[in-house]
Structure formats: C-alpha cells, structure tokens
C-alpha cells in the first residue's frame, strides 16, 4: 500500500478515491433488493463551542452513510476553527462492509486539508459495538513517504433517564514517525477525553453541555511548545447533536 502511494500527487489520490467510490457504489447498488432497501443517514455528533485556556474553538464532527444492510459508503468530517480560522480539517471517504454482527470493516482514503501542508492517507479500519455497548472506531492510516498513523475512539452512552444521556468519550492518536511540518510527533501524539450530558428534546435533536480535556505528548508536545501553544487544556463545551 505504501508503494502505491509513493509519488502520487494529492490530485491523483482523490482521482483514485473518486474512481474507487464509483466502483464501490456500483457494488452496493447491485447488492440491493426489495427486501434490502437503499438507506441513508446524516449525523452531527458534535457541533460545539469550547471555552478553554488555549483559545475558544468551534468544533464539528459529523458523518454520513448511504447503502444497504451489509454494504455502505461512509463520509466522515472533522473540523476545528479558532478566531475565524480553520486550524484542523479532515475528511474520510470509506467503503464499509459488515463482517460480523455489530461490526464493519472500512477501507478508503483520508485527506487532511489543515494544518498545511495537506496530507493524504489510505485507511483501514473497524467500527462497531463491543460488549457492554462500547462504541469503537479504530483506524490504521498509511500515508506518503512511509507515514503511518493509528486512531482509536471509544464512546459509551449512559441513560440517566429516557431523555437525559451522559456520554464519556476517549480518543488516542499515534504516528509512526515525526512530521514537524504539521506538528505531529512519533509515538503517542495526542489524547482527548470528554464527558457530555445531552437532553434529547427529540431522538433526532439534543443540546448538550460538558467538559473536554486534551493533551499532547512527547515530540508533539515539543512542537507545540515551540509554537507557544499549550500541551494540555481543559475546556467547557456547549453544543448540539442531531441526525436525520
């Protein structure tokens, strides 16, 4: 996979993505039948403002899928803006296939538009529900020039009432080598732990509030210090979660 990515320009990578997406879409459509209708979903899991020592960012985490019971096309978006400037922007386009009850295998591409210079990655991941209803999203990333990365996200929903839901969440990011241009160091790079309490006015719409703690480690922390940035930050958050 690394050899395939070497020498490929960002435009070439996204042309590959478009071609692969069309082929996957054709496969998904062929898999459909009257008993397996074509469905779609759009979910915004975090649309929030944060108040912390290291600025007051606005954060968006969203995903959408189109497909059938066993095969789907996914789009995942993560973005962060501070003082009107987009500091982080990432998009993943994935083909997903069910491989076990509650578990999907996902394959596709990730594009980091910010911070610059932009980066392109191949993605191999798994997503599903672990025992005790822990939601898991884990992905391996293979980039140009031998870059590698790993991300693990774990989330759990605790129903306090039928409408009041407490959600702890944790995310870890690791990289195989230093990438000083974008401020990412080898090894454990960054972690984020959040606790959000939402009230479902309707199942599809829920405002929330909570707290979020982020920390950078090792060489990533050294890069942040050199730029005058904090290496850890506690933030109060308020936002809304919705889907349709």
Q: Can you give the CATH number for the domain in which 179 is found? A: 2.40.160.40
The C-alpha atoms of residue 85 and residue 187 are separated, in whole angstroms, by 28
**How many distinct structural domains can be found in the chain?**
1
Q: Where are the beta strands (DSSP E) in the chain?
A: 39-52, 58-67, 71-82, 85-100, 103-114, 119-130, 134-143, 148-155, 158-159, 164-175, 187-199, 205-216, 232-243
- pLDDT above 70 covers a percentage of the chain that reads 86
Buried b / exposed e over 197-216, threshold 16 CB at 10 Å, is: bbebeeeeebebebebebbb
What is the rounded average pLDDT of the residues 214-230?
A: 95
The model carries a pTM of 0.84
Query: What is the distance, to the nearest Å, from the Cα of residue 209 to the centroid of all Cα atoms in its chain?
Result: 20
Predicted local confidence at residue 34, as pLDDT: 63
Domain that holds residue 6: 2-30+38-243
Across 18-22, 50-54, 192-196, which has the greatest mean pLDDT? 192-196
Contact, 152 vs 172, CB < 8 A?
A: yes
pLDDT tens digits along 151-181: 999 999 999 999 999 999 999 999 999 999 9
Short-list 13, 42, 40, CA closest to 29: 40
- Which tops the pLDDT comparison, 3 or 38? 38
What is the rounded average pLDDT of the residues 188-211?
A: 98
Query: What is the distance, to the nearest Å, from the Cα of residue 170 to the centroid of all Cα atoms in its chain?
Result: 12
pLDDT band at 94 (very low <50, low <70, confident <90, very high): very high
Contact, 16 vs 109, CB < 8 A?
A: yes
Reduce the secondary structure of 168-226 to three states and give it as a string: EEEEEEEECCCEHHHCECCEEEEEEEEEEEEECCECCEEEEEEEEEEEECHHHHHHHHH
Predicted local confidence at residue 29, as pLDDT: 45
The C-alpha atoms of residue 169 and residue 156 are separated, in whole angstroms, by 7
Range name among 9-23, 26-40, 76-90, 110-124 with the lowest pLDDT average: 9-23
54: how many CB neighbours lie within 10 A of its CB? 16
């Amino acid at each position: 996979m690394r050899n395939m990515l070497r020498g490929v320009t960002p435009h070439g990578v996204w042309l590959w993505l478009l071609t692969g997406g069309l082929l996957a879409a054709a496969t998904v459509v062929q898999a459909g039948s009257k008993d397996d209708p074509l469905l779609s979903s759009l979910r915004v899991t975090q649309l929030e403002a944060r108040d912390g020592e290291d600025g007051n960012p606005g954060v968006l985490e969203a995903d959408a899928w189109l497909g059938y019971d066993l095969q789907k096309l996914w789009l995942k978006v993560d973005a962060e803006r501070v003082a009107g400037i987009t500091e982080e922007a990432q998009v993943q386009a994935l083909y997903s296939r069910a491989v076990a009850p509650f578990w999907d295998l996902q394959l596709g591409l990730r594009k980091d538009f910010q911070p610059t210079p932009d980066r392109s990655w191949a993605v191999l991941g798994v997503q599903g529900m672990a025992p005790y209803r822990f939601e898991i999203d884990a992905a391996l990333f293979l980039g140009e020039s031998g870059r590698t990365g790993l991300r693990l996200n774990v989330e759990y929903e605790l129903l306090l009432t039928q409408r009041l839901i407490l959600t702890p969440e944790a995310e870890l990011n690791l990289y195989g080598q230093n990438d000083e241009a974008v401020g990412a160091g080898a090894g454990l790079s960054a972690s984020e732990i959040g606790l959000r309490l939402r009230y479902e006015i309707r199942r599809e719409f829920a405002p929330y509030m909570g707290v979020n703690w982020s920390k950078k480690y090792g060489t990533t922390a050294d890069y942040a210090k050199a730029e005058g940035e904090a290496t850890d930050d506690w933030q109060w958050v308020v936002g809304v979660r919705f889907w349709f």
